[in-house]
Structure 1
Amino acid sequence: MSTTIGASASLLLNYTRSGQAVLDAQPSLAQLLSEDATTGSQLPASATVALSDEAKAYLARTSAAAATDSGTSLATRAANARQWFDQQYQALGISSALIDGKVAVDLTGQSRATLSAVAANAQGLFSKDESAAAATALQSRFDAALTPYAVVARHTGNYVGLYDAALSYVNAAGPDEQATKAWQDQKQALVDGAAVARANPGKAPVTKNAADPVQALLGKASAGGTGTPQTSIAAVAANARALLDAQADSAKDKGTKLVFDDSDKTGQQVDFSAFDNRSLAAIALNQGSAFSAGEIRTAMTELDQRNRASVLDTLKATSGGSDGASASLALVNRYAAMSTEEKAALGVSDRFTSQLVQTYQSIQATQGRLGGNASQGLVGYL
């Protein structure tokens, strides 16, 4: 059965592997995204923005960490966290989780449920500094997942989509976190913020609500403080090399070899299920000249297949691609969240992503005119 996914699908599938068909003289995406929203087309969008693959992967990792807490009571998590803090203080020779207002302990290994318990001072076991440090870590994780959507919202004016993505993230919290006043205030702030965004399309809602994590994120972005640390590509390549070597060793243990061609039945077929897209891109780009021709070819094939499948899923999620504005915006979000290495491996240029942004703006402008009020855009159209 064939599926019609609209004009946006053909646009994307023609461009995915290279920027060959992109129109000439397009500004770079960096230029577009750095424009002041008040100087460009403030054309609102009502399309819902789903979390990107990267954000979903982040949620999956935090969900996996939370799984270790799934059979643990809140009291036990709090007691374990109390013990962990005490051990950290002894090992580091400090007496507080904050030093000069900055977090002085490494909370990256703590689950979201544990951080929530500390932030809420569960069982009364934690100091103000410890609760503040945990709250800071929770906001940092939120920022890391939502920053790509803030970038896109600032250019497209689709702040409703940003708030929808934030609500998806917040709703992924466990029952103990959802029972806290902080979570309930945050959820209500996001619902209220989304309502303001819908009523005032094309610009960021001004809620002045301290519980609104989107407002906190946008405030940091305005001050230039939203750089999210990322593992170096050299480290990603080294990890990919180690994973491939482990599979090769496993094949040897079974008296066979690791093979990279589906038609080769003489050995153990390589398995990329444990590799994220950035790792595949590192192999395809042969970072550090650490990979063989077979590894490069197979990783590129896997990355390309994943990209095409994700594109089709994105378009199907936007009414099968029939709503051009929704489809274009979903693709803008997808490529904004893609790593630099993925873009390089797939041939996705700034010119290509700029064209997606312009396609979205053009459709929005047309729909606004048809609706009789360009300032209302898709809100009036839908």
Structure 2
Amino acid sequence: MTSITNGLNNYAQYGAAYARTAGAQTSLAGILNATSDDVLPSASNAATQLTLSAAARAQLAGGSSKDYSAVISDSRAAIDKLYKAANVSAPYDASGKPTVDLSGLDRRALFAIASNAGGRFTEAEQTLAATNRIAQFNAALSPATQTAKLIGDYSTVYKAAASYLDGASSEEKATAIWQAERAAITKGLAATQSDPSKIPAGISNDPVAAYLARYPSGSATTTQDLGSVAKQARATLDDQAKQATAAGKLLVYDPARKTGQQADLSVLDNRALSAISLNKDDLFSQEEVFAAKRELDGRNRASILTALKQSQTSGNPADFSLGLLNAYSGMSAEERTATNWTPAFRDNAVQSYKATTSLLSMLKRG
């Protein structure tokens, strides 16, 4: 494959430290301190979505049990398939815009590419993988940062960062950078226990402090317009209907139906389900709208239950409100409308968190 190494605009400059140092990983804090916002994947600068097939994604999703050499080989094959589908030979075009979308690759695969595991990936491929990795980190911290602004408690951002880093593969955890950053986050968490209203300072290798310095109110998430999301959802459902017809069945949306092929709404994210539920362009039948609302309601209940379980596990009842606020902060405006998570709901959760925290503080002093 041809590697683009010269003349790249700011899209490809992002993550260049990964490419230049190959196996030597660059810290999240270092990248956040050295780059600008417009290099991140977004609706305006991302490649036309030429994503992996379900079979290809399944092959990549071997989890931590898959041998790392297989992860490297599968990642190489996945990129080559994307090139073939897009009729390109490199991840950036002459203007520096991405030609392929790596968002279908899991975190372990992106790490393999960004670190040039096995020497199988070009400099430009490492760069594109690095942009996706930092975008994942930003996405993990943004909801918690928005919540922190609401409740005045930055420990929630450090908890989100700890959860993100703990989800790394064993290969990533073995790097000195991961270990230094995880230690920094542990120190940051300890500091926020003393004063949660202040961002800890002076901690080396602290990616949270670097993130908050750049995005004090949380990083923006550039999304496709809802009309485009609705059209993609329509295409997904139409494709399922064609597959059902080919199998001699009718695509159905009622779980109680004993005949037909059940529509699989699990492949749609919450924003796509919201687009169907709101049905602003009248692209969907009432049956499809009802099914989307039912799926969203189920995911909502799961989100609430997760927040409740977290509070039970931690022994801190305030964590229930915290979980709800993080879920709210992670939603788009359309998702909030579709699920009826209103500003009043958010404000009640904030009041509940502050009241519970205040009571717990009084009990500790007593």
Q: Is 1:272 aligned with 2:274?
A: no
Given that 1:325 and 1:364 are in contact with CA atoms closer than 8 Å, whether structure 2 keeps it comes out as: yes
Distance 2:264 2:120 in 1: 45
Q: Greater CA deviation, 347-356 or 171-180? A: 171-180
Distance 2:234 2:144 in 1: 32
RMSD of aligned Cα (Å): 3.9
Q: CA deviation at 1:134?
A: 5.6
Q: Hey, what does 2:167 align to over in structure 1?
A: 172
Q: Note closer, same or farther for the CA distance 1:247–1:74 as it changes in structure 2 (3 Å cut).
A: closer
Q: Is 1:214 aligned with 2:185?
A: no
Deviations 1:134-171 (A, max 9, x none): 65543332011211111112322332232122112112
Distance 1:225 1:316 in 2: 26
Given that 2:76 and 2:121 are in contact with CA atoms closer than 8 Å, whether structure 1 keeps it comes out as: no
Distance 1:125 1:263 in 2: 49
Q: Hey, what does 1:73 align to over in structure 2?
A: 69
Distance 1:63 1:267 in 2: 25
Distance 2:337 2:260 in 1: 31
Distance 1:75 1:309 in 2: 31
Q: Pairwise mapping of residues 211-360 of structure 1 onto structure 2 (< 5 A)? A: 211-222=205-216, 226-319=219-312, 323-360=316-353
Q: CA deviation at 1:255?
A: 2.9
Q: Hey, what does 2:93 align to over in structure 1?
A: 92
Distance 2:109 2:258 in 1: 47
Q: Hey, what does 1:146 align to over in structure 2?
A: 141
Distance 1:308 1:135 in 2: 34
Distance 1:236 1:139 in 2: 24
Q: Note closer, same or farther for the CA distance 1:346–1:124 as it changes in structure 2 (3 Å cut).
A: closer
Q: Greater CA deviation, 252-261 or 276-285? A: 252-261
TM-score, normalised with respect to structure 1: 0.66
Q: Hey, what does 1:8 align to over in structure 2?
A: none
Mark the runs of 5 or more structure 2 residues left unpaired by the alignment.
Answer: 1-55
Q: Note closer, same or farther for the CA distance 1:135–1:198 as it changes in structure 2 (3 Å cut).
A: farther
**SS of structure 2 residue aligned to 1:255:** coil
TM-score, normalised with respect to structure 2: 0.68
- How many residue pairs were aligned? 302
Given that 1:237 and 1:282 are in contact with CA atoms closer than 8 Å, whether structure 2 keeps it comes out as: yes
The correspondence for 1:183, drawn from 178, 197, 202, is 178
**SS of structure 1 residue aligned to 2:266:** coil
Q: Hey, what does 1:201 align to over in structure 2?
A: 196
**SS of structure 2 residue aligned to 1:73:** helix
Q: Hey, what does 2:51 align to over in structure 1?
A: none
Distance 1:93 1:246 in 2: 34
Q: CA deviation at 1:66?
A: 6.2
**SS of structure 2 residue aligned to 1:248:** helix
Write the letter of the residue equivalent to 1:92.
D
Q: Note closer, same or farther for the CA distance 1:191–1:324 as it changes in structure 2 (3 Å cut).
A: closer
The correspondence for 2:356, drawn from 360, 363, 376, is 363
Q: % of aligned pairs identical?
A: 35
Mark the runs of 5 or more structure 1 residues left unpaired by the alignment.
Answer: 1-60, 373-380
Distance 2:118 2:256 in 1: 59
Write the letter of the residue equivalent to 2:69.
S
**SS of structure 2 residue aligned to 1:318:** helix
Q: CA deviation at 1:354?
A: 1.2
Of the two, which has the highest radius of gyration?
A: 1
Given that 1:77 and 1:114 are in contact with CA atoms closer than 8 Å, whether structure 2 keeps it comes out as: no
